[in-house]
Structure 1
């Protein structure tokens, strides 16, 4: 399991992509692309707009409270454990599997926020990863070599613990 040290958490406060304050501005950018979502509200908003994400990573929470807009489960559903502030090997395996077996919903027991990092690394070029930026909007990251390099750099901030 990878753990994000407390002193590195500030690196994850800024959007890892383009921040859209209004969800409706994201929709036109999704046409013809594989769309991956991280977060219950983002996934719900995609579905409300008739878009089923190829991969949805959800945890039943929004801003650490139960989500009242639980998205529908699409395709296969994989359950993984992922405590807050971590990226577990099971989460990475589920994301890697999901890339080739869409649509997949990954239901996280714990916290899904940091799934963006391994998802960007695993996603094919030209795909789009969306996730919520609390109280600010939705972040859109188009997958390219620069996105993958930036995600790998963020991943270097983590410390491996356990086997």
Structure 2
């Protein structure tokens, strides 16, 4: 398991991609792409806009409050334990599995906030990865070599336990 030290948490507060005020502002960027969503609200909002994500990673919460808008997706469901501030091998394995064989939903027991990092590393070039930026909107990261390098660089501040 990888743990993000408290001293480095601020590095993960800025968007890892382009910040949009709403899903509606970025829908045209998703056409023809595999769509991967991290978070209950982002997944719900994609579905409400008529976009069914190929992969969704949810935990039943938004900003640590039970999410009343948890999406109901008809897709293969995996479960992975992932305590707050960590990226577990179990989560990485589930992401790898569902990216290789979509569609799928990963229900995280714990917290899915950092799942965007291994998701970008596992996703094919050209995929769209979306996640919520609390109180600001939704972040879109198109997967390319630069995104993968940045995600790998982010992992260097984690500690293996």
TM range (shorter): over 0.9
What residue is the counterpart of 2:80 in the other structure? 80
Partner of 1:131: 131
Rate the CA distance shift 1:74–1:156 in 2: closer, same or farther, 3 A: farther
1:127 is displaced (CA, Å) by 0.2
Question: SS of the counterpart of 1:141?
Answer: strand
Deviations 1:10-30 (A, max 9, x none): 100000000001221111111
* Structure 2 segments unaligned to the other structure (5+ residues): none
Write out aligned runs for 1:117-156 (5 A).
117-156=117-156
After TM superposition, list the pairs within 5 Å mapping 1:30-45 onto structure 2: 30-45=30-45
Distance (whole Å) between structure 2 residues aligned to residue 56 and residue 22 of structure 1: 18
CA distance in 1, matches of 2:74, 2:93: 19
- Shift, 1:115, TM fit: 0.2
Aligned length: 161
Structure 1: 5+ residue runs without aligned partners?
none
Question: Structure 1 residue 73: deviation in Å?
Answer: 2.5
1:51 is matched with which residue? 51
| Residues 3-42 of structure 1: pairs in structure 2 closer than 5 A | 3-42=3-42
1-structure distance, mates of 2:107, 2:159: 24
Give the deviation of 1:75 after TM superposition.
1.1
State the partner residue of 1:102.
102
The two structures have a TM-score, normalised by structure 1, of 0.97
The whole-number CA distance in structure 2 between the counterparts of 1:69 and 1:25 is 20
Query: Is the aligned partner of 1:67 residue 2:54?
Result: no
Q: Aligned equivalents of 1:19 and 1:74: distance in 2?
A: 28
Give the RMSD, CA atoms, in angstroms: 0.6
Q: Distance in 1 between matches of 2:106 and 2:61?
A: 13
